[in-house]
Homo-oligomer: A and B are copies of this chain.
Amino acid sequence: MKLRSLLTSAMALTLSAVLASAPALAQDKFTFRLAETWGPNFPIFGDTTKRLAETVEKMSDGRLTIRIDSANKHKAPLGVFDMVKAGQYDMGHSASYYWKGKVPNTLFFTSMPFGMTADEQYAWFYHGGGMELMQEVYEPHNMLSFPGGNTGVQMGGWFRKEINSLEDLQGLKMRIPGFQGEVFAEVGVNPTNIPPGELYTSLERGTIDAVEWVGPALDLRLGFQQIADYYYTGWHEPATELQFLINKRSWEKLPADLQEILRIAMRSAAYDMLIHSVHENSKAWASIREKHPNVQIKNFPEDVLTAMAEANDKLLAEAAAGDPQAKKIIDSQAMYLKNARNYTDISLRAYLNTMAEINE
């Protein structure tokens, strides 16, 4: 053996000893490209991906970097599912119900009309089998899906005229997309979808009579409070949960510690968005109350709510009848909701009503 090979083999031995004793020396660096459905600096939603990227960077000491492309960059806000599936992006930030045209059962993992609140839905995801059901739906597409941040209860929308009965909904033109729009259609509303940039003008000019958006913080920026007096309370999206989507091959490239760092960072960022939403909505609602006293909070009348609940039940029954997986998910959610709500009613709801009563 020549000196040179002896040196080399000694060095190799040393190296492998180091590698064995310090497994974290599998110190490869990884960059995950993330496509988000939102434009750049979109409040609350966009803060969630930024928060994720920052905490992952710090926790991994720079070994995992998340590079965020907003919609202005990738030009395909509703192409996130396909881009992550194809591996064009390692991960995405979007909402599961956007994919229902492609994969119908993705509908169930965002928020359902008359469904669970955020806390109840997280409990269903993490303790009630929800994560497993969601994975069953995403598995054939080689992706992992995780909760991606909650908006809390979305408001029922801005109306220019008061709704006093089912009659008032007949033929009403309303911006309300997706399954929620289908429920509204069942009770006589004419649902339309209009790009965000045109909503204000459409409502002002009477092209539409009502618009559902998110809640005070995001609604305030679009200015509806200037042209609509009636702000209805929510029933249709009680706990809108965004989604982190991850390409499975990208995920499997990560060592176990970085997988756990990413998993916990996503979980924490999702909860954080719920709390951030509470904060921003509280501020925005205080501002609307102060500067726009014209705005009145209304609940939909009981006949409207009952009709919408029946329409919702009918549409769910149809979905369940045609698809055993849909039935399994719908049944799981209904059963979980029943017990969880019985408890929410004697704890959180009772407390909030007690406080409202003594503050009257």
CB contacts (< 8 Å) of A120 on chain B: these are: 278
**CA of A21 to CA of B61, assembled, Å:** 12
Known: A257-B59, A352-B352. A343 touches B281 (CB 8 A): yes
Looking at the assembled complex, report how far the CB atom of A11 sits from the nearest CB atom of chain B, in whole angstroms. Answer: 4
Instruction: Name which of A274, A275, A299, A345 has the most chain B CB atoms within 10 A of its CB.
Output: A275
CB contacts (< 8 Å) of A281 on chain B: these are: 343, 347
Looking at the assembled complex, report how far the CB atom of A286 sits from the nearest CB atom of chain B, in whole angstroms. Answer: 5
Looking at the assembled complex, report how far the CB atom of A301 sits from the nearest CB atom of chain B, in whole angstroms. Answer: 11
Q: Is A114 a contact of B355 with CB atoms below 8 Å?
A: yes
A302 beta carbon closer than 8 Å to chain B: yes
Q: Is B346 a contact of A233 with CB atoms below 8 Å?
A: yes
Q: Is A55 a contact of B351 with CB atoms below 8 Å?
A: no
Looking at the assembled complex, report how far the CB atom of A125 sits from the nearest CB atom of chain B, in whole angstroms. Answer: 8
Q: Is B127 a contact of A257 with CB atoms below 8 Å?
A: no
Known: A3-B3, A357-B302. A286 touches B339 (CB 8 A): yes
Q: Is B275 a contact of A123 with CB atoms below 8 Å?
A: yes
A149 beta carbon closer than 8 Å to chain B: no
A344 beta carbon closer than 8 Å to chain B: yes
Q: Is B261 a contact of A127 with CB atoms below 8 Å?
A: no
A316 beta carbon closer than 8 Å to chain B: no
CB-CB nearest in chain B for A11: B14
Q: Is B286 a contact of A342 with CB atoms below 8 Å?
A: yes
A162 beta carbon closer than 8 Å to chain B: no
CB contacts (< 8 Å) of A260 on chain B: these are: 55, 58-59
A153 beta carbon closer than 8 Å to chain B: yes
Question: When the two chains form the complex, which single residue of B128, B264, B341 contacts A279, counting CB atoms closer than 8 Å?
Answer: B128
**CA of A18 to CA of B357, assembled, Å:** 66
Contact with B along A269-312 (1 / 0, CB 8 A): 00110111011011101100100000001011010011001000
Which of A22-30, A218-226, A246-254, A321-329 touches B?
A22-30
CB contacts (< 8 Å) of A334 on chain B: these are: none
Known: A15-B14, A358-B305. A351 touches B257 (CB 8 A): no
CB contacts (< 8 Å) of A59 on chain B: these are: 59, 257, 260-261, 264
Contact with B along A55-74 (1 / 0, CB 8 A): 10011111100000000000
Contact with B along A1-41 (1 / 0, CB 8 A): 00100110011001100100111110100000000000000
CB-CB nearest in chain B for A352: B349
A340 beta carbon closer than 8 Å to chain B: yes
CB contacts (< 8 Å) of A275 on chain B: these are: 119, 122-123, 126-127
Known: A18-B15, A257-B61. A343 touches B278 (CB 8 A): yes
Q: Is A354 a contact of B123 with CB atoms below 8 Å?
A: no
CB contacts (< 8 Å) of A27 on chain B: these are: 21-22, 24-25
**CA of A82 to CA of B253, assembled, Å:** 45
Other contacts beyond A22-B27, A122-B275, A309-B358: 17, CB < 8 A: A10-B10, A14-B15, A58-B257, A114-B355, A117-B351, A117-B352, A123-B278, A127-B275, A155-B346, A233-B351, A264-B268, A267-B272, A282-B342, A285-B342, A305-B357, A345-B356, A349-B349
What are 12 sample pairs from A and B whose C-beta atoms fall under 8 A apart?
Answer: A59-B257, A59-B261, A59-B264, A61-B257, A119-B278, A123-B276, A153-B351, A235-B355, A264-B264, A286-B343, A349-B356, A352-B352
